[in-house]
Structures are given as C-alpha cells and as structure tokens.
C-alpha cells in the first residue's frame, strides 16, 4: 500500500477540473448523473475523456463516481459505459452496488474499484471483505470519529479514503421534493436544481442554521449546515496511514475550492517532506476563511464526537 497521501476533489465541469489540477489536486472525482449520485456536475464521455487527458499531463488520476442506486434499467447501460471508461483510461470507479463491480471485472478489469457505501463502511472486516471481491480502497463513513478511523486503518488490507473538507449529505429521497413543492405552488422549475445555489431548509427550532438543498435527476439531498474542516489535525490521519483525503466541492464556488486545495496541498507536502518537523500553521487557512460563507461554520464534524451504538 502506498504511503503517499492523495488529495482528491470533486469537479463540476472541465474548466473547474483544470483549475483544481492547477491548484494541486492529485485526483478528481467526476461522473455521469445516471450512474453517480450527488455530483456537482454531469460529465459526458467526451468530457470525461478530455479531463482524463488533462489529468495525465498533471500526473493526476480520474475517479468516476458510480455509487447510484442501480435499477434494472440502468443495468442495461452499464456494459457500454464501463467499456468506454476503460478506453478513456480512468484510474478507478467508486461503487456501492455489486453490479458495478461485476461490470468492471468483465468489461474493464484494469480499472480500480473503490467501495463507497456511505454510512455503512464503519469497520475493517466489512472493508476487507470487499477487498477480497476486488476493491482496492474503502471510503470510510463520515460518521466515524478520529479514534475509530486511526484505530481501524492498521487492520485494513485496502486503502482508506476520508472526507476532510466540505459539506456532507444528511438526507436523501429519490423523490424530487423541491420540484413537487414548486409545482404545488404554481411555480414549475425547469433545469437541474443541483446546479443552483440558495435553496435551504430551515428548522423551526434552529432558525439560525441553514441546510442547503441539492436536487438532481436522482432526487433530493439535504446537506449539512456546517462544513467539515480537519486541516488542523490532518497529520493524525497521515500518521495513521490514511491514503486519500477528499475535499467535497459541491455547492461551492471554484475560488473557494481552489483555496481549500492549496491549503491541504501545503499540509500534505510539508508532512511528506519531513513528518518529524511538521507543524500546523493557522495561516494556511487564512484564504479559506476569507472565502468561507459567513453563515456556515468550519467544524470538525463527527471527528471528535463520541459515538453511541
């Protein structure tokens, strides 16, 4: 297992992909809305090929999200899509459905498999099980705290990926709740709501917190009211051997995501250059804080919350 730490970020379009690579990303997570869920942008096969060629020039990798809930109709489209990804030269796909794993093995076996089952990837035995089926990486649940992550990694036989920055999903419905509500109000919505910013859910008891709503062809997603930011303690996970650190760029302006990538790039490079001399510098986050939405706090998320099962 490689000891180099990967900096992974989502991209909304080809232009953003180039900018994020320039900012220092090691890998980009992109995809097609048919097969990937909660993507900041939809990439056609031609656009995926363009970004893959671009990434190769930066010695970076392309990971394609295929973590959607697969229907029988989608299964018919899997072989052709997977074969195309194989020709394009993507590095890996993220999956949660065994049908994707089977399609990759049959039609593009050189593509790596990253198991991403959202909140159910909470223990090393399950992660290692998927390793025996062909997965080379597990995307750990965002609900795990720091102790659970660092104590689990030594028992993993696959790489570990952890989200370290950005908003997280707290609710998903296959129904298009916003469009249904708008239609009921006599205000039909055209286009993809997932590309819109400014839709929020506010609870009666907590009116100072805004939960962004993201809606696409896969339904409605309600996102966290705060942004994870673990830069201060990133070294703990690097020391433990976490391989990949994901920045979630959904519903964020490009300038913000670029600033986040530059900050984490600085930390990772300095740690890898001399782990013994490494020391966190609050100045690394200055640009991020300047661009941070004043209505959204930067928090540790679940990293320091005691879990009760």
The pLDDT tens digits for 123-132 are 999 999 999 9
- In whole angstroms, give the CA distance from residue 296 to residue 285: 15
What are the DSSP calls for 108-177, one per residue?
Answer: -TTSEEEE--GGG--SHHHHHHHHHTT--EEE--TT--HHHHHHHGGG-SSEEEEEEEE--EEEEESS-H
Q: What is the pLDDT, as a whole number, of residue 309?
A: 45
Question: Among residues 125, 61, 135, 132, which one has the least CA distance to residue 96?
Answer: 135
Beta strands in 4-142 (DSSP E): 6-10, 27-30, 61-66, 92-95, 112-115, 137-139
CA dihedral in degrees (110, 131, 122, 221; nearest 10)? 30
Neighbours of 111 (CB within 10 A): 20
- In whole angstroms, give the CA distance from residue 35 to residue 82: 11
**Domain assignment of residue 16, yes or no:** yes
- If one counts the domains in the chain, the total is 1
**Domain assignment of residue 207, yes or no:** no
Q: What is the pLDDT, as a whole number, of residue 195?
A: 47
- In whole angstroms, give the CA distance from residue 255 to residue 201: 25
**Domain assignment of residue 203, yes or no:** no
Q: What is the pLDDT, as a whole number, of residue 228?
A: 94
Q: What is the pLDDT, as a whole number, of residue 180?
A: 59
Cβ distance 301 to 230 under 8 Å?
A: yes
**Domain assignment of residue 195, yes or no:** no
Here the CATH number for the domain that contains residue 254 is 3.20.20.110
**Domain assignment of residue 1, yes or no:** no
What residues of the chain score a pLDDT lower than 70?
1-3, 119, 170-198, 200-204, 206-207, 221, 223-224, 306-309
- In whole angstroms, give the CA distance from residue 237 to residue 230: 10
Residue 130's domain spans which residues?
6-168+225-299
Q: What is the pLDDT, as a whole number, of residue 192?
A: 47
**Domain assignment of residue 217, yes or no:** no
CA atoms within 13 A on the CB side of 152: 26
**Domain assignment of residue 307, yes or no:** no
Strands 298-299 and 61-66: unpaired
**Domain assignment of residue 68, yes or no:** yes
């Amino acid at each position: 297992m490689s000891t180099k730490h990967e900096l992974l970020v989502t991209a909304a379009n080809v232009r953003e992909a180039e900018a994020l690579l320039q900012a220092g990303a090691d890998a980009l997570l992109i995809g097609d809305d048919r097969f990937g869920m909660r993507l900041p942008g939809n990439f056609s096969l031609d656009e995926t090929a363009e970004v893959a060629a671009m990434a190769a020039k930066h010695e970076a990798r392309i990971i394609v999200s295929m973590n959607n809930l697969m229907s029988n109709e989608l299964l018919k489209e899997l072989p052709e899509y997977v074969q195309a990804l194989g020709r394009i030269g993507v590095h890996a796909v993220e999956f949660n459905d065994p049908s994707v794993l089977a399609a990759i093995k049959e039609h593009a076996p050189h593509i790596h498999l990253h198991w991403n089952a959202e909140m159910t990837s909470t223990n090393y035995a399950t992660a290692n099980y998927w390793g025996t089926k062909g997965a080379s990486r597990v995307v750990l649940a965002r609900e795990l705290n720091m102790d659970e992550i660092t104590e689990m990694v030594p028992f993993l036989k696959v790489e570990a990926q952890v989200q370290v920055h950005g908003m997280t999903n707290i609710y998903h419905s296959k129904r298009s709740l916003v469009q249904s509500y708008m239609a009921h109000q006599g205000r039909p919505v055209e286009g993809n709501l997932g590309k819109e910013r400014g839709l929020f859910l506010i609870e009666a008891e907590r009116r100072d917190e805004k939960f962004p709503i993201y809606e696409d062809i896969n339904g409605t997603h309600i996102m966290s009211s705060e942004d994870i930011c673990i830069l201060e303690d990133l070294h703990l996970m690097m020391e433990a051997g976490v391989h990949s650190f994901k920045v979630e760029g959904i519903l964020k302006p490009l300038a913000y995501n670029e600033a986040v990538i530059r900050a984490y790039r600085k930390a990772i490079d300095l740690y890898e250059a001399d782990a013994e001399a490494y020391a966190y510098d609050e100045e690394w986050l200055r640009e991020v804080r300047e661009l941070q939405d004043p209505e959204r706090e930067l928090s540790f998320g679940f990293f320091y919350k005691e879990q009760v099962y």
